Amino acid sequence: MAAGDVEVRIVNAVVADIDTAVTAMRVTAGANGKFMITSIGPESQQVVIIAITEA
């Protein structure tokens, strides 16, 4: 992944799933990667996690 590349994941809004996703996305996005998160779904039962890779 190059600087500016974006990865989006949607996972269930439970700690274990978010932990797993962010851990994996951190590897791709790098030490300076930026992360955002927001809930989604009819009852906010999922979250969207966005990672921007930065050099």
Partner 1 sequence: MAAGDVKVGITTNKALKCAIFDGVDDYISVGSATAIDNIFSNGGSVSFWVNARNGGEGDSGRIYDKSNLIIRLTGTVAGKSKISITRVHSVTSGIWTSTATEVTNNQWTNIIIVYDDSSVDNNPAVYVNGTAIAMTETQAPAGTASSDAAATGYLGNNSATTATFFGGMTNIKFYKFRVLTSTEISQLAQGLKIDTFKQVAEWNFQNGTYQDSIGTNHGTNSGTTITIMDSDLAKNIKAQRVGANDKWLVFKSNDNQVGHIEIEG
Least Å distance, CB 13 to partner 1, is 10
Cα–Cα distance, 28 to 25 (Å, whole number): 5
46 vs 1, 14, 39, 50, 55, CA distance in Å? Answer: 25, 8, 6, 13, 29
Q: Would you count residue 42 as binding partner 1 (CB under 8 A)?
A: yes
Site string for partner 1, 10-39 (x = CB under 8 A): x-x-------------------x-x-xxxx
Six-digit token string for 30: 């790098």
Interface residue list for partner 1 (CB under 8 A) = 3-10, 12, 32, 34, 36-42, 44-46, 48, 50, 52, 54-55
